[in-house]
């Protein structure tokens, strides 16, 4: 066997191994990830916020009708509210769910005692107790009287 033939066979064997091994070997073996679910909830929160922004963009680009937008936005908003409640329970902080008023883009946050966090309906950022605008995205916050 010549040296060239040996290297060709070696290259073929390595290529075959690299192509077949992902199909045969189980690569899911890893160290167990211990989580109390907060990381998963935060990841889902980001997904929901992105979905709400995409719905808004699609409506503005007239890719979806206003009725579809309202339905999708409301369903996702309700899921986000539920998720925030669950996240607050896991983090042991109180939560106040925002109320949808007239148009689904207008949110009234009920007045709360000092130190209780509130969240922006646009980006999910915690709000200052007496703030009128979100410090992250600048969205105007309407408060219940």
Domain interval for residue 112? 36-143
Q: Is residue 31 part of a domain?
A: no
pLDDT tens digits in sequence order for the chain, 145 residues long? 688 999 999 999 999 998 888 887 765 555 555 456 778 888 888 999 999 899 888 888 888 888 888 888 899 989 988 988 888 887 765 555 556 555 545 445 454 444 444 677 778 777 777 777 887 788 787 765 4
Q: Is residue 56 part of a domain?
A: yes
Q: Is residue 25 part of a domain?
A: no
Residue 24 CB-density burial (10 A; 0-12 exposed, 13-18 middle, 19+ buried): exposed
Task: Check residue 26 and report its DSSP letter.
Answer: -
Split into its structural domains, the chain has a count of 1
Q: Is residue 135 part of a domain?
A: yes
Q: Is residue 22 part of a domain?
A: no
Angle of helix 66-91 versus helix 38-60 axis, rounded to 10: 160
Q: How many CB atoms lie within 10 A of CB 12?
A: 10
Q: Is residue 29 part of a domain?
A: no
Q: How many CB atoms lie within 10 A of CB 53?
A: 12
Q: Is residue 7 part of a domain?
A: no
CA atoms within 13 A on the CB side of 53: 11
Q: Is residue 8 part of a domain?
A: no
């Amino acid at each position: 066997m010549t040296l060239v033939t040996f290297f060709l066979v070696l290259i073929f064997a390595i290529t075959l191994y690299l192509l077949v091994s992902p199909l045969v070997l189980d690569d899911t073996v890893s160290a167990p990830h211990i989580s109390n679910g907060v990381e998963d909830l935060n990841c889902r929160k980001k997904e929901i916020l992105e979905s709400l922004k995409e719905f808004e963009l699609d409506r503005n680009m007239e890719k979806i009708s206003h009725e579809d937008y309202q339905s999708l936005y409301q369903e996702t908003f309700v899921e986000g509210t539920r998720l925030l409640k669950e996240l607050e329970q896991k983090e042991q902080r109180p939560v106040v769910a925002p109320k949808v008023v007239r148009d689904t883009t207008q949110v009234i946050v009920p007045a709360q005692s000092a130190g209780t966090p509130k969240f922006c309906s646009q980006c999910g950022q915690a709000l200052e107790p007496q703030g009128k605008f979100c410090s992250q995205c600048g969205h105007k916050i309407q408060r219940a009287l």
